């Protein structure tokens, strides 16, 4: 069995997984992030990006070889 983390993947795969993670975070926590960004005068897209990166390390990556 091969264990890889996000850093070991090529840039195209990283971008695709980050996009999927952003969609996941936005669907689950989008409203909460918007409220936080408005309350603290923060950038919503930056918060979304940070949360998406944190979310990636909760995934289990499975590859067919």
Axis crossing angle, helix 11-39 with helix 44-56, rounded to the nearest 10: 130
Stated pTM of the model: 0.75
Q: pLDDT by residue (tens digit) across 13-46?
A: 888 888 999 999 999 999 999 999 999 999 999 9
| Residue 58, number of CB atoms within 10 A of its CB | 8
């Amino acid at each position: 069995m091969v264990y890889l983390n996000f850093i070991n993947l090529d840039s195209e795969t990283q971008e695709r997984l980050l996009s999927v993670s952003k969609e996941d975070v936005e669907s689950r926590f989008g409203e909460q992030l918007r409220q936080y960004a408005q309350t603290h005068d923060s950038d919503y897209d930056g918060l979304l990006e940070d949360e998406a990166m944190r979310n990636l390390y909760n995934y289990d990556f499975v590859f067919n070889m």
